[in-house]
Amino acid sequence: MAVAPTPMPPEWPALYGRDCLRLADFDAADVLGLVRLGRELKQLHQLRVPFEPLRGATLAMIFEKPSTRTRVSFAVGMQQLGGQALELSPSMLQLSRGETLEDTARVLSRYVNAIMVRTGPQANLEALAAAAAVPVINGLSDAFHPCQTLADLLTLYERFGYLRGLAVAYIGDGGNMAASWLEAAALLGMGLRVATPPGYEPDPDLVAWAKQQAELSGAGIHLTHDPHEAVAGADVVYTDVWVSMGQEAEAAARRQAFAPYQVNRLLMQIAGPNAIFMHCLPAHRGEEVTDEVLDGPQSCVWDQAENRLHAQKALLLSLLAPRHRS
């Protein structure tokens, strides 16, 4: 009886020792390399092939905001790669008693191999990364969510087999998810149409950067206030919550402004015939998306959630393992 050959260990991008504060920290080849590596690591996991290149490594995880997917996927990802994760919160650290981010970073750098932070201001991440001697990973900030977008790209790569030229409609708030999607689309030559209510557009400086980058990559970047215009013929319809963490005081005004931007069956019918629906989760059912869409046949939100694990394993491996085979 023939025995199936053992898969070769995957290659990974040469990103050893670098930070991941936003996708624009990398070039297009780096991002594509992470996506492909995530797929290989997922296949190894499905085949139950042991692969533990991070044995002995430790990831410190600092959570200033609640988390389900980020917390579990990073912890399990480190375990599957042979390492371990240490969960921390500001109340557990001397940060709660006035120790600076910079001093915390210097201390943690003496103990661990990388630091993942889920925080508010992007400036907090940048300050911590500037002082740290180990890679710092953005597990979510008010400005960007690169780890989620890597998982989204992996999901699209699995579904379509390619990324360049895909038409993505992003409907809703121009916050951190829209920002990371602007970076991803501009780097990879994708078409991105962002539809937001007036006053909730993405950061104009980031939009200017994305349009400039698009001239090099062939991407299409378009902003509108009309969700129907954005969705027409799209391959992907993406949305996020209307009220993010820290915006609770604006909840009533946001729900009123975003009501016409709900992703429902009628809006999905305007998209391409094989369009899929994406959401980074958690979803507020009945607000930004209906149950009919979220639980429907076009939805791939659970694949996205699963792929957080494998995309982040690809990132951890690339940042923490010096071995690189070209």
Q: Which two tokens stand for residue 137?
A: 């990973």
Identified catalytic residue from 240, 300, 310, 312: 240
Identified catalytic residue from 22, 118, 193, 279: 118
Q: Torsion-angle region of residue 17: left (phi > 0), alpha (psi -120 to 50) or beta?
A: left
Query: Tokens 């980058």 label which residue?
Result: 213
Q: How many beta carbons lie within 10 A of that of residue 54, not counting itself?
A: 23
DSSP 5: P
Is 325 part of the annotated catalytic residue set? no
Q: How far apart are CA 38 and CA 263, in angstroms?
A: 29
Q: Which two tokens stand for residue 279?
A: 């959401």
Identified catalytic residue from 19, 30, 147, 148: 148
Closest-CA residue to 199 (of 180, 178, 173) = 173
Q: How far apart are CA 155 and CA 151, in angstroms?
A: 6
Is 118 part of the annotated catalytic residue set? yes
Pairing of strands 84-88, 114-118: unpaired
Helices assigned H by DSSP within the chain: 28-46, 69-80, 101-109, 122-131, 146-160, 176-188, 204-217, 227-231, 251-258, 265-268, 291-294, 301-320
Is 145 part of the annotated catalytic residue set? yes
DSSP string of 14-66, one letter each residue: S-TT--BSSGGGS-HHHHHHHHHHHHHHHHHHHTT----TTTT-EEEEEESS-
Q: Which two tokens stand for residue 244?
A: 């993010």
Go through the chain and tell me how many residues it has: 326
Q: Is 211 helix (H, G, I), strand (E, B) or coil?
A: helix
Is 148 part of the annotated catalytic residue set? yes
Identified catalytic residue from 280, 300, 304, 310: 280
Is 84 part of the annotated catalytic residue set? no
Is 110 part of the annotated catalytic residue set? no
Distances (CA, A) of 326 to 33, 157, 312: 12, 22, 21
Closest-CA residue to 33 (of 10, 54, 51) = 10
Catalytic residues: 118, 145, 148, 240, 280, 308
